[in-house]
């Protein structure tokens, strides 16, 4: 039961990190923004 609880915590933490990173890359406007908007965001989409 404890292992299942730890797994749930890790999943929630992963989602809380990956989703904002995906949005950050999707709407990034700095240097090399085209690459980040297209390919960088796709990396986080695939992880999610």
Higher pLDDT: 12 or 2? It is 12
Whether the predicted pLDDT of 1 surpasses 70? no
Q: Is the model's pLDDT at 43 over the cut of 70? A: yes
Residue 4 has pLDDT above 80, yes or no: yes
In this predicted model, what pLDDT tens digit does every residue of 9-41 receive, in sequence order?
A: 999 999 899 888 888 888 888 888 888 888 887
Q: Which residues are CB-neighbours of 37 under 8 A, at least 6 positions away?
A: 25, 26, 27, 28
- Provide the residue ranges of all domains of the chain, joining segments of one domain with +: 2-47
The CA distance from 13 to 5, in Å, is 12
- Quick one: pLDDT at residue 10? 93
Task: Supply the pTM of this predicted model.
Answer: 0.65
φ, ψ for residue 25 (rounded to 5)?
A: -70, -35
Q: Which residues of 9-47 are buried (b: 16+ CB within 10 A; e: fewer)?
A: eeeeeeeeeeeebbeebeebeeeeeeebeeebbeebeee
């Amino acid at each position: 039961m404890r292992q299942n609880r730890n797994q749930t915590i890790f999943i929630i933490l992963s989602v809380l990190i990956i989703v904002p990173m995906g949005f950050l890359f999707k709407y990034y406007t700095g240097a090399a923004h085209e690459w980040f908007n297209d390919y960088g965001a796709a990396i986080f989409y695939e992880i999610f």
